[in-house]
Amino acid sequence: MTWQSFQMQFQQLRDNKLFEMIVISIIILSSLLIGLKTYPLHPNLEQFLVFMDTAVTLFFLVEILIRMAAEDRVLNFFKKGWNVFDFVIVVVSLIPLDDSEYALIARMLRLFRVMRLISFIPELRVLVTALLSALPRMGYVALLMFIIFYLYAVIGNLLFSSINPTLWGDLGISLLTLFRVATFEDWTDVMYETMTVYKLSWIYYLTFIFFSAFVFLNMMIGIVVEVLDEEHSKMLADEQQDEKNALLNEQAQQLADQKAHQQKLEQELASLHTKLDQLIRQKG
C-alpha cells in the first residue's frame, strides 16, 4: 500500500463521527480521572488511575498523530489555531508524573485536557471565538464603566467619608464599595446608612445602579450577541465552502478517473491495432 492510501484511511478515520465521539468520551474520562485524584483513595485504585492516565496520554498522542498524518502536508495541520491548541496540550501532557520538580506542573497542565472539548465541539468553538472577538469592543464599554465608577467613587468619598470612613475613606475603598453596590451585596445597608445624614442620597445609589447594572450590562450582552451572530454566519459560510470544495474535489477525482480509464482504453486499442497489423503481415 502507498502512503496516499494510508493517508486516505487516516482522513476517513479523522472525519468519522464515531471516532470523534470516542475522542470526546476519552477527554471526559480524563477529566473525571483528574477529579478522582483529589480524593483519598486505596493504593490499588491509585495504581489503576496512574495506568489509566498513561493509557489516555498514549491515546491522545496517537489521535493527534492520525490527524497530522491525514493532512496533505504536516504544516497544514498547524495553520488552524485549534489544531495548535490541541497539539500543545498533548505535548505538555507527555511530561512524566514522577516526583521530579516538574510533576506539579505536569498535573496542572493535565487539567487543560478538558479544554480540548472546545476544539471538538463546533458550538463551543463559536462561543469562545465570539468571546475573544468581542473583547476589543467590550474594552471600550469597560473603559466607560471605569470612568463612571471613578466619578461616583470621588463623589462618594467627598460626601460620605465623614459618615463611614471604612467604606468611603479613600478612592480605592470607595471603588470597592461601589463594586459591592453594583453586585447588590447588602447595598441597601450602605444606602440607608448615608440616608440618615443625606435624605436624598438614594438618588446617588439608584443612578449608579442604573448605569452599572442595567445600561453597561445590556451593552455587554448586546456586543456578545452581535458577535455570536457574526460567528454563526461565518461558521455556516465555512461549512458551505467546505461542502463545495469537497464536491469539487470529488468531481475532479471522477474526471481524473475517467481520463485515466480513457487513456487505458486508447492504449488497449493501440495494442489491438498493433496485433492486427502483425497478423495481417503474417498472413500476407
Condensed to tens digits (0 to 9), the pLDDT of residues 113-135 reads 777 777 777 778 778 888 888 88
Residue range 34-60: mean pLDDT, rounded = 85
Residue reference for cell 485524584 = 37
Q: What confidence score (pLDDT) does residue 99 get?
A: 56
Residue reference for cell 490527524 = 67
Residue reference for cell 461601589 = 178
Do residues 69 and 144 both lie within one domain? Answer: no
Kindly state whether residue 255 falls inside one of the protein's structural domains: no
What residue numbers bound the domain in which 15 lies? 3-120
For residue 86, the domain's CATH number is 1.20.120.350
C-beta separation of 230 from 137 below 8 A: no
Do residues 239 and 129 both lie within one domain? Answer: yes
Do residues 108 and 145 both lie within one domain? Answer: no
pLDDT digits (tens, 9 = 90+) for 67-86: 888 887 878 888 888 888 88
Do residues 37 and 104 both lie within one domain? Answer: yes
Question: Does 25 or 103 have the greater pLDDT score?
Answer: 25
Kindly state whether residue 254 falls inside one of the protein's structural domains: no
Angle (CA) 21 25 26, round 5°? 120
Phi, psi at residue 162, to the nearest 5°? -75, -25
Task: Quote the mean pLDDT of the chain.
Answer: 82
Q: What confidence score (pLDDT) does residue 204 get?
A: 94
Instruction: Region of 41 please: left (phi>0), alpha (psi -120 to 50) or beta.
Output: beta
For residue 206, the domain's CATH number is 1.10.287.70
- Give 184-190's long-range contacts (Cβ < 8 A, gap of 24+): 184/213
Residue range 190-203: mean pLDDT, rounded = 92
Kindly state whether residue 249 falls inside one of the protein's structural domains: no
Kindly state whether residue 261 falls inside one of the protein's structural domains: no
C-beta separation of 191 from 90 below 8 A: no
Query: Which of 8-17, 153-162, 217-226 is least confident?
Result: 8-17
Residue range 228-246: mean pLDDT, rounded = 77
Q: What confidence score (pLDDT) does residue 284 get?
A: 59
Residue range 100-121: mean pLDDT, rounded = 72
Do residues 33 and 76 both lie within one domain? Answer: yes
Number of domains in the chain: 2
Do residues 53 and 158 both lie within one domain? Answer: no
C-beta separation of 231 from 130 below 8 A: yes
pLDDT band at 207 (very low <50, low <70, confident <90, very high): very high
Distance CA 151, CA 32 (A): 47
Do residues 148 and 184 both lie within one domain? Answer: yes
Domain boundary among 120, 141, 166: 120
pLDDT at 151 over 90: yes
Kindly state whether residue 253 falls inside one of the protein's structural domains: no
Do residues 129 and 102 both lie within one domain? Answer: no
End-to-end Cα distance, the chain = 48
pLDDT band at 103 (very low <50, low <70, confident <90, very high): low
Residue range 228-242: mean pLDDT, rounded = 77
- Torsion from C-alpha of 185, 189, 194, 199, nearest 10 degrees: 110
Do residues 179 and 115 both lie within one domain? Answer: no
Q: What amino acid occupies position 245? A: N
Query: Which of 90-94, 107-111, 211-215, 240-244 is least confident?
Result: 107-111
Kindly state whether residue 69 falls inside one of the protein's structural domains: yes
Q: What confidence score (pLDDT) does residue 168 get?
A: 92
C-beta separation of 63 from 76 below 8 A: no
Do residues 99 and 150 both lie within one domain? Answer: no
- Give 53-58's long-range contacts (Cβ < 8 A, gap of 24+): 53/97, 53/110, 56/26, 56/29, 56/30, 56/113, 57/93, 57/94
Do residues 64 and 163 both lie within one domain? Answer: no
- Mapped onto helix, strand or coil, the DSSP state of residue 144 is helix
Which range is most confident: 52-61, 148-157, 247-256?
148-157
Domain boundary among 73, 100, 120: 120
Do residues 23 and 47 both lie within one domain? Answer: yes
Residue range 246-254: mean pLDDT, rounded = 76
Q: What are the grid coordinates assigned to 194, written together?
A: 448615608
